[in-house]
Chains A and B, each alone.
Chain A
Amino acid sequence: MLSTLGYASVIAALLGAAIMTLVGFRAGLSRSGNAVGVALARRASYFAFFGMTAGMAVMEVALLTHDFSVEYVSRVGSLETPTYYTAISLWSSLDGSILFWGWILAGYAALFAFTRRREWSSFAGTPVTDRGLAPTLRMTPLITAVIGVVGLFFFGLLAGPANPFGLVSPAPANGPGPNPLLQNHPLMGLHPPMLYFGFVGMTVPFAFAIAGLLVGNLEARWLRDARRWTIAAWAFLSMGIVGGGWWSYDVLGWGGAWAWDPVENASFLPWLTATAFLHSAMVQERRGMLKTWNLTLMIGTFLLTMLGTLLTRSGIIDSVHAFTEGVIGPLFLAFIGVVAVASLVLISWRADRLHAPGQIESPVSRESAFILNNLLFVGFTFTVLLGTMFPLVIEAIRGQRISVGAPYFDMVASPIGLALLFLMGVGPILPWRRATGEKLKRSFRWPIASGIVVTATALALGMRQLYPLLTLGLAGFVLTTIVEEFVTGVRARRRISGRSVPGALLDLFVRNGRRYGGYVVHTGIVVVALAISVSWTWKSEREETLRAGERMAIEDYEIEFVELWGRDEPQRFVVGATFNAYRDGHPIGQQSPRMNIYSGGQQPIATPAVRSSLTSDLYLTLMAFDNEGGRHATVRAIVNPAIAWLWIGGMIVGIGALIAIWPRRSGRVRTAGDDLLASTASAVSTEASQRADGAAEAEREGELAVVGSGGGDPPTGERLAP
Chain B
Amino acid sequence: MGFERHGGVKKSRLWMLAGLLAIGAAITLLAAGGLSENMVFFLTPTELEAKGTEVYGAPLRLGGQVKPASVQWDADTRDLRFVITDGDVEVNVRSTGAPPQMFGDGIGVVVEGTYGEDRVFHSTNVMVKHSNEYRPPDENHDPHETYKSLIEDGA
Query: Of B73, B99, B144, which one neighbours A599 at CB under 8 angstroms?
Result: B144
- Contact of B154 with A382 in the complex, beta carbons under 8 Å: no
- Contact of B16 with A382 in the complex, beta carbons under 8 Å: no
- A363-B12, A390-B35 in contact; A404/B135 too (CB < 8 A)? no
- Contact of B2 with A632 in the complex, beta carbons under 8 Å: no
- A404-B39, A603-B102, A623-B98 in contact; A179/B9 too (CB < 8 A)? no
- Contact of A405 with B40 in the complex, beta carbons under 8 Å: yes
Chain A contacts of B101 at CB under 8 A?
A: 253, 595, 603-606, 623
B64 to chain A, nearest CB (A): 13
Which residue of B is nearest A414, CB measured?
B30
A598 within 8 A of B: yes
Query: Of A408, A630, A722, which one neighbours B3 at CB under 8 angstroms?
Result: A722
- Contact of B98 with A383 in the complex, beta carbons under 8 Å: no
A416 within 8 A of B: yes
B63 to chain A, nearest CB (A): 8
- Contact of B27 with A379 in the complex, beta carbons under 8 Å: yes
- Contact of A624 with B20 in the complex, beta carbons under 8 Å: no
A606 to chain B, nearest CB (A): 5
- Contact of B134 with A624 in the complex, beta carbons under 8 Å: no
B135-149 CB contacts (< 8 Å) to partner A: 135-137, 142-144, 147-148
- Contact of A603 with B97 in the complex, beta carbons under 8 Å: no
Which of A161-169, A217-225, A367-375 is near enough to bind chain B?
A: A367-375
User: Which one of A403, A572, A628, A636 has the greatest number of beta carbons of chain B within 10 Å?
Assistant: A403
- A363 vs B101: C-alpha distance when bound (angstroms): 55
B138 to chain A, nearest CB (A): 8
Chain A contacts of B37 at CB under 8 A?
A: 407-408, 411
B119 within 8 A of A: no
Type the 1/0 row for B8-34, where 1 means its CB is closer than 8 Å to any CB of A. 110011011001100110010011001
Query: Of B15, B38, B73, B107, which one neighbours A404 at CB under 8 angstroms?
Result: B38
A634 within 8 A of B: yes
Query: Of B23, B30, B97, B154, which one neighbours A629 at CB under 8 angstroms?
Result: B154
- A133 vs B15: C-alpha distance when bound (angstroms): 44
B128 to chain A, nearest CB (A): 6
- A404-B35, A605-B101 in contact; A566/B151 too (CB < 8 A)? yes
Type the 1/0 row for B45-87, where 1 means its CB is closer than 8 Å to any CB of A. 0000000000000010100000000000101101000000000
- 6 A-B pairs besides A402-B41, A604-B102, A624-B75 with CB distance below 8 A are A361-B12, A407-B37, A597-B143, A598-B143, A606-B101, A624-B99
- Contact of B107 with A602 in the complex, beta carbons under 8 Å: yes
- 8 contacting pairs across A/B (C-beta < 8 A): A371-B16, A376-B23, A404-B38, A405-B59, A597-B143, A599-B137, A602-B107, A630-B154
- Contact of B151 with A565 in the complex, beta carbons under 8 Å: yes
Q: Using a CB–CB distance below 8 Å, which chain B residues touch chain A?
A: 2-3, 5-6, 8-9, 12-13, 15-16, 19-20, 23-24, 27, 30-31, 34-35, 37-43, 59, 61, 73, 75-76, 78, 97-104, 107, 128, 130-137, 142-144, 147-148, 150-155
- Contact of A402 with B130 in the complex, beta carbons under 8 Å: no
- Contact of B144 with A597 in the complex, beta carbons under 8 Å: yes
Query: Of B3, B20, B61, B137, which one neighbours A371 at CB under 8 angstroms?
Result: B20
- Contact of B35 with A401 in the complex, beta carbons under 8 Å: no
Which residue of B is nearest A178, CB measured?
B134
- A628 vs B31: C-alpha distance when bound (angstroms): 50
Chain A contacts of B152 at CB under 8 A?
A: 566
A132 within 8 A of B: no
Query: Of A379, A403, A600, A606, which one neighbours B136 at CB under 8 angstroms?
Result: A600
A297 within 8 A of B: no
- A440 vs B131: C-alpha distance when bound (angstroms): 56
A181 within 8 A of B: yes
- Contact of B107 with A382 in the complex, beta carbons under 8 Å: no
Chain B contacts of A603 at CB under 8 A?
A: 101-104, 107, 128, 143
Q: Is the interface of A mostly helix, strand, loop or mixed?
A: mixed
- A362 vs B7: C-alpha distance when bound (angstroms): 11
- Contact of B38 with A573 in the complex, beta carbons under 8 Å: no
- Contact of B147 with A575 in the complex, beta carbons under 8 Å: yes
Query: Of A372, A375, A411, which one neighbours B38 at CB under 8 angstroms?
Result: A411
- Contact of B134 with A627 in the complex, beta carbons under 8 Å: no
A400 within 8 A of B: yes
A672 within 8 A of B: no
A393-423 CB contacts (< 8 Å) to partner B: 400-405, 407-408, 411-412, 415-416
- Contact of A383 with B16 in the complex, beta carbons under 8 Å: no
Nearest first, the 9 closest Cβ-Cβ pairs linking A and B are A623-B98, A566-B151, A630-B154, A408-B38, A379-B27, A401-B42, A624-B98, A629-B154, A383-B31
A555 within 8 A of B: no
B17 to chain A, nearest CB (A): 9
Chain A contacts of B39 at CB under 8 A?
A: 390, 402-404, 408
Which residue of A is nearest B19, CB measured?
A363
User: Which one of B38, B40, B59, B130 has the greatest number of beta carbons of chain A within 10 Å?
Assistant: B38
- Contact of B134 with A75 in the complex, beta carbons under 8 Å: yes
A176 within 8 A of B: yes
A523-547 CB contacts (< 8 Å) to partner B: 543-545
A139 to chain B, nearest CB (A): 32
Query: Of A375, A383, A628, which one neighbours B30 at CB under 8 angstroms?
Result: A383
- A267 vs B54: C-alpha distance when bound (angstroms): 37
Chain A contacts of B27 at CB under 8 A?
A: 376, 379, 382-383, 412, 416
A631 to chain B, nearest CB (A): 8
Chain B contacts of A177 at CB under 8 A?
A: 134
Query: Of B2, B9, B20, B136, which one neighbours A359 at CB under 8 angstroms?
Result: B9
Query: Of B15, B19, B41, B130, which one neighbours A401 at CB under 8 angstroms?
Result: B41
Chain A contacts of B13 at CB under 8 A?
A: 359-360
- Contact of B41 with A564 in the complex, beta carbons under 8 Å: no
- Contact of A375 with B23 in the complex, beta carbons under 8 Å: yes
- A636-B98, A720-B6 in contact; A575/B151 too (CB < 8 A)? yes
Chain B contacts of A605 at CB under 8 A?
A: 101
- Contact of B75 with A626 in the complex, beta carbons under 8 Å: yes
- Contact of A402 with B155 in the complex, beta carbons under 8 Å: no
